[in-house]
């Protein structure tokens, strides 16, 4: 037997995987946001530095650019270790100024654009640099003081040219930025991993605690045995999801307990039913052995009757077993109801007439059903025999059959002694009799059991009930055969004996 995977393990793995996906997605989003914001701050610092350098550029009257750069005020561009870089272009003249530590162009000559742009550049020494560049218009140099004798407000000798545009690029190594991003990413991923680990442990504990009733249920079921079916499953706290399971399991235990009780009664009844005829045969055999030349009249007739009774019991038991197992063949055909009921009454009429029981039949001549004729004959014979044997003396046994749409309802009614609900439940149990002492040997107690078994095999609806008026009613519902011609319901016919 292949053991299925643990439900606890499957739940824990599924929940842990869900947490992993959820926290992984959150960690990825947070990491991306942190990277974006940190890089944006880094780039904003580079753009600010470029603007500061742009403020040092002045446009002279002759169109030249004067760059008022003092090295000691800008140590970040002068240090030997991890220096920053800058570069200034004039669109028409090319590179004009470059930081002392920069040995190459930061980027190719860019087009003039006032919007800052960013790029990652690998220098010749292998260093990765983040570069920001933008276009600026150099401010004009302040006017020179007037010479002596020159009147104020006099027009200049020549119109000065417009300030030239410049492009300033500032670069900074990515070492600190990459380290900061790596630490932030590591902290986020590590925190997410620790959260997933603790979530998995918490899920394992919660699932184990939540599934504890399942373990208690399994333990109680494991302690059950066929010898102790009085014990039912009882959990101190039953979850709503397990309540139907517990209820159905207890219902199954009750059904099993009832089935075991029926089996025990069946075994005892079979032994009792066969012990009496066997004892009679042994007694007859002992008499014949002791007085072989003085065999009484009717000896072999008694032996034949005893053997016939035992043969009938065994035959009915075999038929019951085949019906319950579904191995009994079923040959369906159109079956007339009236001839079967009449034939059954003729077999039991003599015994019924001895105590004044009469038969009243109300079945249409052409009423037909679709079923197995032989099995349905067994059903009808046993129902008629039950009514003929157990109806009150000097009473009427009635059989009525009506067509109800696609069904035929056949009812056998007779006045009988009152029965309790428990006795009605045991009617179809093999060998059951109201007389616990089983004093009467006329019937073995298999008739209604055969009716129930054959009815189930033929897919008939069979029911037994007794009304407040004491009338016992056995009802059989069978599928009706298709109508061939219209017929009227038959008038009741009184049958007092065989016909």
Same domain, 315 and 359: no
Tell me the per-residue pLDDT of 22-53, one tens digit each, with 9 for 90 and over. 888 898 999 999 999 999 999 999 999 988 88
Domain assignment present for 231: no
pLDDT digits (tens, 9 = 90+) for 217-233: 778 787 777 777 777 77
| Same domain (yes/no): 357, 248 | no
What pLDDT score does 39 carry?
92
CATH number at residue 457: 3.30.565.10
Q: Are residues 38 and 165 located together in one domain of the fold? A: yes
pLDDT value, residue 159: 57
With respect to residue 116, please indicate whether it lies within any of the assigned structural domains.
Answer: yes
Q: Is the pLDDT of residue 489 over 50?
A: no
For the chain, percent of residues with pLDDT exceeding 90: 16
pLDDT digits (tens, 9 = 90+) for 239-257: 777 788 888 888 888 888 8
Q: What is the pLDDT of residues 431-441, one digit of tens each?
A: 776 665 555 55
| Claim to verify: residue 288 and residue 357 sit in the same structural domain | no
In the predicted model, is pLDDT for residue 179 greater than 70?
A: yes
Does the pLDDT of residue 152 top 60, yes or no?
A: no
Query: Is the pLDDT score of 266 beyond 60?
Result: yes
Region 470-491 average pLDDT: 77
pLDDT score, position 339: 92
CA distances from 188 to 21, 34, 39, 130 (A): 14, 10, 17, 24
Question: In which band, very low, low, confident or very high, does the pLDDT at 336 lie, cut at 50, 70 and 90?
Answer: very high
pLDDT for position 496? 46
Average pLDDT, the chain: 80
Q: Looking at the structure, tell me whether residues 363 and 305 fall in a common domain.
A: no
Tell me, what's the pLDDT at 493?
47
Among residues 297, 323, 349, the one where a domain terminates is 323
For position 497, what pLDDT does the model report? 43
Instruction: Please check whether residues 318 and 341 belong to one and the same domain.
Output: no
Residues 341 and 312 in one domain: no
pLDDT of residue 232: 78
pLDDT of residue 335: 92
For residue 337, the surrounding DSSP H or E stretch is helix 337-353
Local confidence band at 498 (pLDDT 50, 70, 90 cut-offs): very low
Half-sphere exposure of 446 (CA within 13 A, CB side): 22
Say how many domains are in the chain. Answer: 3
Q: What is the pLDDT confidence band of residue 2, given thresholds at 50, 70 and 90?
A: very low
Matching residue, tokens 């009429």: 349
pLDDT of residue 244: 83
Whether 153 maps to a domain, the answer reads no
Would the pLDDT of 93 be above 60? yes
Q: Are residues 179 and 69 in the same domain?
A: yes
For residues 317 and 363, state if they share a domain: no
CA proximity to 455, closest of 427, 481, 476: 476
Residue 444 in this model has a pLDDT that exceeds 80: no
| Model confidence at 363: pLDDT above 50 | yes
Which of 113-117, 135-139, 425-429 has the highest mean predicted lDDT (pLDDT)?
A: 113-117
> Quick check: 496 and 348 in contact, CB under 8 A?
no
> 85-99, 394-408, 422-436: which has the highest mean pLDDT?
394-408
User: Rounded mean pLDDT of 326-344?
Assistant: 88
Locate 191 and state its tokens: 């925190």
How far is Cα 89 from Cα 101, in angstroms, rounded to an integer? 17
Same domain, 260 and 294: yes
Q: What is the pLDDT of residue 42?
A: 92
In whole angstroms, what is the distance from residue 387 CA to residue 472 CA?
A: 9
Residues 170 and 263 in one domain: no
Q: How far apart are the C-alpha atoms of 169 and 49, rounded to whole Å?
A: 9
- Which pLDDT score is estimated for 63? 66
Residue 479 has pLDDT above 90, yes or no: yes
Region 413-433 average pLDDT: 82
**Which of 122-136, 253-267, 347-361 bottoms out in mean pLDDT, i.e. has the lowest?**
253-267
Q: Are residues 166 and 20 in the same domain?
A: yes
Residues of the domain holding 43: 11-140+160-188
Residue 222 lies in a domain: no
pLDDT(488) > 70: no
**Do 473 and 467 meet the contact criterion of CB atoms below 8 Å apart?**
yes
- Whether 158 shows a pLDDT value over 60: the answer reads no
Q: What percent of the chain shows pLDDT beyond 70?
A: 85
d(CA 351, CA 388): 8
Helix, strand, coil proportions of the chain in percent (round to 5)? 45, 20, 35
Instruction: Classify each residue of 40-70 as buried b or exposed e, where b means 16 or more C-beta atoms within 10 Å of its C-beta.
Output: eebbeebbebbeebbebbbbeeeeebeeeee
Nearest to 320 by CA among 497, 454, 194: 454
């Amino acid at each position: 037997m292949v053991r299925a995977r643990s439900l606890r393990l499957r739940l824990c793995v599924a929940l842990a995987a869900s947490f992993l996906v959820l926290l992984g997605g959150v960690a990825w989003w947070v990491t991306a946001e942190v990277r974006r914001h940190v890089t944006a701050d880094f780039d904003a610092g580079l753009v600010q530095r470029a603007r500061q350098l742009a403020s040092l550029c002045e446009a002279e009257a002759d169109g030249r650019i004067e760059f008022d750069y003092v090295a000691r005020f800008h140590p970040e561009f002068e240090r030997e270790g991890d220096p920053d870089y800058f570069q200034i272009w004039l669109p028409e003249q090319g590179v004009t100024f470059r930081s002392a530590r920069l040995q190459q162009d930061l980027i190719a000559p860019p087009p003039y654009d006032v919007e800052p742009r960013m790029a990652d550049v690998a220098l010749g020494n292998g260093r990765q640099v983040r570069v920001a560049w933008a276009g600026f218009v150099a401010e004009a140099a302040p006017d020179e003081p007037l010479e002596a004798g020159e009147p104020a407000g006099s027009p200049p000798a020549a119109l000065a040219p417009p300030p030239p545009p410049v492009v300033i690029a500032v670069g900074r190594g990515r070492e600190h930025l990459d380290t900061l991003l790596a630490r932030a990413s590591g902290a986020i991923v590590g925190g997410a991993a620790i959260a997933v680990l603790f979530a998995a442990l918490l899920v394992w504990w919660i699932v184990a605690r939540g599934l504890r009733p399942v373990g208690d249920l399994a333990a109680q079921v494991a302690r059950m045995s066929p010898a102790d079916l009085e014990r039912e499953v009882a959990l101190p706290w039953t979850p709503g999801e397990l309540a139907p399971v517990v209820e159905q399991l207890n219902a199954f235990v009750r059904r099993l307990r009832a089935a075991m009780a029926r089996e025990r009664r069946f075994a005892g009844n079979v032994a009792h039913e066969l012990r009496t005829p066997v004892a009679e045969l042994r007694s007859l055999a002992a008499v014949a052995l002791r007085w072989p030349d003085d065999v009484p009249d009717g000896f072999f007739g008694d032996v034949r009757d005893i053997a016939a009774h035992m043969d009938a019991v065994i035959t009915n038991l075999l038929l019951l077993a085949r019906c319950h197992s579904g191995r009994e063949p079923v040959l369906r055909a159109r079956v007339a109801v009236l001839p079967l009921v009449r034939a059954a009454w003729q077999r039991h009429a003599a015994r019924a007439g001895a105590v004044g029981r009469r038969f009243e039949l109300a079945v249409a001549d052409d009423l037909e059903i679709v079923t197995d004729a032989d099995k349905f004959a067994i059903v009808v014979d046993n129902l008629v025999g039950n009514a003929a044997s157990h109806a009150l003396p000097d009473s009427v046994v009635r059989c009525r059959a009506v067509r109800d749409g696609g069904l035929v309802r056949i009812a056998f009614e007779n006045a009988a002694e009152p029965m309790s609900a428990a006795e009605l439940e045991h009617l179809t149990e093999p060998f059951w009799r109201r007389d616990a002492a089983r004093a009467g040997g006329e019937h073995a107690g298999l008739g209604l059991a055969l009716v129930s078994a054959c009815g189930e095999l033929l897919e008939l609806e069979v029911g037994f009930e007794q009304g407040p008026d004491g009338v016992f009613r056995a009802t059989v519902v069978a599928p009706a055969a298709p109508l061939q011609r219209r017929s009227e319901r038959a008038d009741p016919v009184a049958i007092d004996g065989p016909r």
